[in-house]
Amino acid sequence: MLWADRIASEIQDTRKPRNGKTFLIRDEKTISGRVHVGSMRGVAIHGLVAEVLAENGVASEFRFEIGDLDPFDSIPNYLDTKKFTEHLGKPLFAVPSPESGFKNYAEYFGEEFIGVHKKAGFIPNYYRATDFYRSGKMDTLVKVALERANDIRRILREVSGSEKDVSWLPVSVICEKCGKMMTTRAYGYDGETVGYACDKNPDECVPCGHTGRIAPWRGAAKLFWKVDWAAKWVAQGVDIEGGGKDHSTRGGSRDAANHISREVFGYEPPFDIPYEFFLVGGKKMSSSKGRGSSAKDMSDLFPPQTYRLALIGKDIREQINIDPSGESVPRLYDWHDELALGVREGKADDYSRLYALCELPKNRAALSALWQMRFREVAFIAQMPHLSLEDEAARAKGSALTADERIALEERARYAKFWLTAYAPEEFKYELQEEMPNVNLSNIQKKALGVLAEYLQAEKRTGEELHLRLHELKTEVPIQPKDLFQAMYRIFLVRDSGPKAGWFLAGLPRNFVIKRLKEASQQ
């Protein structure tokens, strides 16, 4: 049973919606810059659980928080440090957008992230953390948290081992003078206001020295992360909310938030879905580094169904690892093709279920699982200007393409070309040499190429015929297969390896091949 079906039935067996009608599924992301693809895994997991519940006739709402009320704590390396240093420590909604046309920093990067959700077919209901606080819906919970600061302090010590000063309060105040929140320290709650001093100096963030008292309601202050998390569950009545592995360890933020939820707010925490990391090139790298690691970069590499496969194909307990500059991109396309083949052959198993879940719910009833040319072959042919992609695809399929297959082929070719220019490793890049390149060949290699030239000159040959003839040459010349193929790839591509040689030669203009083989054999 696939993980999404397993989780959905676990939820149905063990939970009832708190409001009696609709399960509330929630996820969130602090928009501190371009969002890492790892956060897409959470979106996909929550989104897919909602889809499967709906298939089972169970109503749910998937709600997503755009986190714009956390401090801007570091400047990503793709932004101008000089321009953004003065904004360090401010809440993200108060940091300017890197480009004009957006309300603020969080909206700019948030919009990009939301665009990726849409492409993958996950469309939750969005809200901003700032709007939620400003609505006053958090006020009673902020009040409880302030009144019970000692209990929270004890829980954080017992669960996470973090020691807080006796004067510590679980809120972060936005300084009325300089607008920063990372520099403030709150103390002395009197039932209506808290005292605060803007005197903390984390990293390059400069405090203004202001001290004062403030009513911490309606977004004037924000609860610290683990308390905020628990309070949001209560304020919204969250039934289901998972979290990444980094939060899910014993003593981690989820553990602490669960304790705070039960012991401070008297609320049974939501059904948890702990999930593993999405690694990029084997690393859990930050999105401020490394091209290809953002949710958007990754989505640019795949059509929606294949991107969904990347996100949902592995069990939530397994790591995902995709390296845009390695072989994992063609492999993911191969995986999707393999699932499609199973569907065409009428298999009803986990593979066909997974294939169906890669499609949007509305397309699942009548699944179309088209034949497609392998991604790596499309990528190769796309680099051979004289080859017709459609002819080659029809040849590979064994019959003419249908209209839908043609559309799919064009789409795959667009993705392949983008991958080749943006990320593909050298071994996938081919450049057909218009002129005979300067390469070294042994006498045996030259002899074999000469025999091949004669064979091709006699009449037009198919890929299959050329393939068989190449194998005959091994004993006829004789020549080691490795030496034969190396010679061929060298004179056409200046490489030592390449595509299936017979079909490759058959696809090139015949006179061009004969001329090249002769030139090489007479060198």
Binding site for Zn ion (CB under 5 A): 175, 177-178, 198, 208, 210
Least distance in Å: CB of 337 to Zn ion? 57
Alpha-carbon span 466 to 92, nearest angstrom: 63
Give the strand pairing for 194-198 and 211-214.
antiparallel
Is the CB of 205 or the CB of 260 nearer to Zn ion? 205
Q: How far is CA 3 from CA 40, 122, 254, 313, 336, in A?
A: 17, 18, 21, 9, 18
Smallest separation (angstroms) from Zn ion to the CB of 206: 9
Least distance (Å) between residue 174 CB and Zn ion: 9
Q: Which is nearer to Zn ion, 54 or 215 (by Cβ)?
A: 215
CB of 188 to Zn ion, least distance (A): 17
Residue 190 Cβ, how far from Zn ion at the closest point, in Å? 21
Residue number with CB closer to Zn ion (212 or 304): 212
Smallest gap from Cβ 118 to Zn ion, in A, equals 38
DSSP 8-state assignment for residue 400: P
Nearer residue to Zn ion within complex by CB, 184 or 352: 184
Smaller CB separation from Zn ion, 182 or 484: 182
* CA 349-344-368 angle, 5° bins: 100
| Beta carbon nearer to Zn ion, 182 or 343 | 182
Nearer to Zn ion, 119 or 210 (CB): 210
C-beta closer to Zn ion: residue 213 or 397 = 213
CA–CA dist 58, 78 (Å, integer): 44
Minimum CB–partner distance for residue 179 and Zn ion (Å): 7
Q: Which residues of 138-163 are buried (b: 16+ CB within 10 A; e: fewer)?
A: bbebbebbbebbeebbebbeebbeee
Q: Residue 67: in which H helix or E strand, if any?
A: strand 60-67
Distance CA 212, CA 208 (A): 12
Contacts with 361 (C-beta within 8 Å, 6 or more apart), sequence order:
51, 54, 55
CA 225 to chain centre: 24
211 bridge partner residues? 197
Pairing type for strands 184-187 and 194-198 reads: antiparallel
Q: Answer for the pair 288, 279: CB distance below 8 angstroms, yes or no.
A: no
Q: Which is nearer to Zn ion, 207 or 330 (CB)?
A: 207
**Cα distances (Å, whole numbers) of residue 4 to 44, 253, 315, 363, 412:** 10, 24, 9, 18, 28
Least distance (Å) between residue 369 CB and Zn ion? 60
Shortest Cβ distance from residue 175 to Zn ion (Å)?
3
Closest approach of Zn ion to the CB of residue 79, in Å? 23
Q: Which two tokens stand for residue 53?
A: 């519940």
Say if residues 214 and 101 touch (Cβ distance below 8 Å): no
Q: From residue 372, how far is each of 112, 335, 392, 397 by CA, in Å?
A: 30, 12, 12, 8
Give the C-alpha separation, 338 to 352, whole Å. Answer: 10
Query: Smallest distance, Å, CB 200 to Zn ion?
Result: 10
Q: Are 53 and 23 in contact (CB under 8 A)?
A: yes
Q: Which residues contact 479 (CB under 8 A, 6 or more apart)?
A: 444, 445, 447, 448, 473
* β-pair type (60-67, 125-128): parallel
Query: Which of 192, 182, 185 shows the shortest CA–CA distance to 217?
Result: 192
Q: What angle do CA 31, 37, 42 make, to 5 degrees?
A: 80
Nearest approach, Cβ of residue 375 and Zn ion (Å):
54
